[in-house]
Amino acid sequence: MVALYDTLARAVVPVDPAGDTLTMYSCGPTVYRYAHIGNLRTFLMADLIRRAFEYQGVTVHQVQNITDVGHMTDELTDSGRDRMELAVQDEGKSAQEIADYYTQAFLDDTAAFNIQRAVDYPKASDYIPQMIELNAKLLERGHAYEVGGTVYFDTASFPAYGRLSGNTLEQLQTGHRKEIGDTNKRHHADFVLWMNAGPHRLITFDSPWGKGYPGWHIECSAMSMAAFGESFDLHTGGEDNVFPHHEDEIAQSEGAVGHQVVAHWVHGAHLLSEGRKMAKSAQNFYELRDLKERGHTEPLAARLLYLQSRYRAQMNFTLDGLTAAERTLDRWRRLIANWAGDPQGGSSVDAYEKRFVEAMNDDLDTPAIMALVSEVTGDDKVGRADRAALLQRWDRFLGLDLGRDVGKTVEVPAMVLELIEQREKARTKKDYSTADRVRHKILSLGFEVEDTPDGPKPRPRAR
Ligand code: AMP
Ligand code: ZN
């Protein structure tokens, strides 16, 4: 079965669902802005895990949260306002409108990336009562304390703190986070479960501790347990989520129910740009819409690029790498389109299939799978239709839309290429009557010319 690198076990371990289906909770987007393509890499990892199980007949019940409220980062901005509130100010819309808009943008982007829809996308703002209930439970069980309307998790009450990230209480030095300025904390590692709103906060909720809003981590404890109960199989996120987000989530969930809740934790490594983590704050990010504006109109080429690295290796994104991936994707699609019409060759592809499944189950070894795809495309001992069918089958995992009808590749006669050049020359000289005459000649030879940002492209004339 599928084995994955479990951050908690610090090893690649087999991941077996406890029940009939694999229950998986994935940390989702904060919806005060567009996702960047680094975020998409983390969401893709969850999709690949899911597809690996589904490829082998296991149903996956995936839930992904939408963070539309709360302490959206563990550091407040300089002005002491959270990011959603700043977006409200900048965009002149309500928080609800902003959240709805960017939630839809997230769904569009993930769909363009062929990331399958989760069963449910719970919104944090719909789970305030569950978060309040969790806080109450933690207070009752002695894992939390309240000071002036703010509720803190008492890390000293939870000896397992640090098990996931290695940041045990002894190791955490004073000053590891900005909140150290908060003198109400008993221990510097204690974190906010519920925050007193103060006079300037726009979005607040009533609670037994007065008006406030939830801490960042409590939403994932509340929503994951609302979805799956007190235990589930797998929790995913990006590597920056390990600490403090997931460390704190473990403390909250286990503190509330008194036993282990998540069986396996899997984290994706960051996408880098110019050698640094791609991030909004670092100004080194791309969104899918930026790539499109630069003429990179096929998002699945980025998906292919990501597959060339394993999910837990950091990878540096470059536009050159993306261009190369576009060519590879186009080539594979064309081969399949050309081969699919051939009669089945009856060749055995069992050995290839075995290697594919082994690589997939070996902690999603997608670089090995990419090499395998190249090997298959060049293996003339296997019938062409059999190769096409095999690659399309693997596409259930890869999600590259390899079967897309890109049309058969047609040899363009030298004569047509020459005429295209003549037409370009005439157009540069603004001699449009000659250009048009040449275009008709090209048409009479059965081709038409499409003017693309990369220059003129010949294609067989539409009938
Ligand atoms: P956010 O919307 O900022 O909460 O981020 C959504 C997800 O993207 C989180 O799980 C992060 O861990 C992940 N993430 C953020 N930056 C990157 C990056 N550069 N590469 C990969 N994943 C990232
Ligand atoms: Zn989360």
From the CA of 219, the nearest ligand is 2
The two tokens of residue 215 are 């801490």
Our answer on whether the CB atom of 277 is closer than 6 Å to any ligand 1 atom is yes
Whether residue 37 has its Cβ less than 6 Å from ligand 1: no
Q: In the 8-state DSSP scheme, what is residue 93?
A: S
**292 CA to middle of ligand 2, Å?**
29
CA separation for the pair 398, 391 (Å, rounded): 9
41 C-beta closer than 6 A to ligand 1: yes
Which ligand approaches the C-alpha of residue 284 most closely?
1
Report whether the peptide linkage leading into residue 214 is cis, meaning its omega lies within 30 degrees of zero: no
In this structure, how many other beta carbons lie within 10 angstroms of the beta carbon of residue 299?
18
Separation of alpha carbons 435 and 28, rounded Å: 53
Ligand 2 centroid–CA 245 distance in Å is 7
pLDDT score at 85: 82
| Contact (Cβ atoms closer than 8 angstroms) between residue 269 and residue 239 | yes
CA of 459 to the centre of ligand 1 (A): 41
Closest CA to 65 of 218, 283, 244: 218
- What pLDDT score was predicted for residue 302? 98
Q: Which uninterrupted H or E stretch holds 61?
A: strand 60-64
Give the CA-trace dihedral at 51, 66, 306, 313, to 10 degrees: -100
Report DSSP letters for 335-394, one per residue.
Answer: HHHHHTTSPP-----HHHHHHHHHHHHBT--HHHHHHHHHHHHT-TTS-HHHHHHHHHHH
Residue 169, exposed/middle/buried by CB under 10 A (0-12, 13-18, 19+)? middle
Cβ 128 under 6 angstroms from ligand 1: no
- How many angstroms is it from 412 CA to the middle of ligand 2? 53
Ligand 2 centre distance from Cα of residue 220 (Å): 5
Q: Are 308 and 367 in contact (CB under 8 A)?
A: yes
pLDDT in tens, the chain (463 residues): 999 999 999 999 999 999 999 999 999 999 999 999 999 999 999 999 999 999 999 999 999 999 998 655 544 444 456 788 888 888 888 888 999 999 999 999 999 999 999 999 999 999 999 999 999 999 999 999 999 999 999 999 999 999 999 999 988 865 555 445 678 999 989 999 999 988 878 889 999 999 999 998 999 999 999 999 999 999 999 999 999 999 999 999 999 999 999 999 999 999 999 899 999 888 899 999 999 999 999 999 999 999 999 999 999 999 999 999 999 999 999 999 989 888 877 889 999 999 999 999 999 999 999 999 999 999 999 999 999 999 999 999 999 999 998 866 667 788 888 999 999 999 999 999 999 999 999 988 888 888 877 788 887 776 5
In whole angstroms, give the CA distance from residue 262 to residue 422.
66
Q: Are 115 and 47 in contact (CB under 8 A)?
A: yes
The whole-angstrom separation of Cα 106 and Cα 112 is: 10
Instruction: To the nearest 10°, report the CA torsion of 415, 416, 420, 421.
Output: -20
pLDDT at 340: 82
Mutate to test the pocket of ligand 1, among 64, 72, 240 (most ligand atoms within 8 A of CB): 240
The finding on whether 242 has its CB within 6 A of some atom of ligand 1 is no
pLDDT value at position 78? 42
Q: How far is CA 103 from the centre of its chain?
A: 14
Residue 123 beta carbon below 6 angstroms from any ligand 1 atom: no
> Strand 315-317 vs strand 276-277: parallel, antiparallel, or unpaired?
unpaired
Ligand 1 within 6 A of 264 CB? no
3-state secondary structure of 320: helix
Ligand 1 atom closest to residue 278's alpha carbon, by position in its atom list: 19
Atom of ligand 1 lying closest to residue 240 CA: 12
Q: Would you say the CB of residue 70 lies under 6 angstroms from ligand 1?
A: no
**Contact 372 CB / ligand 1 (< 6 Å):** no
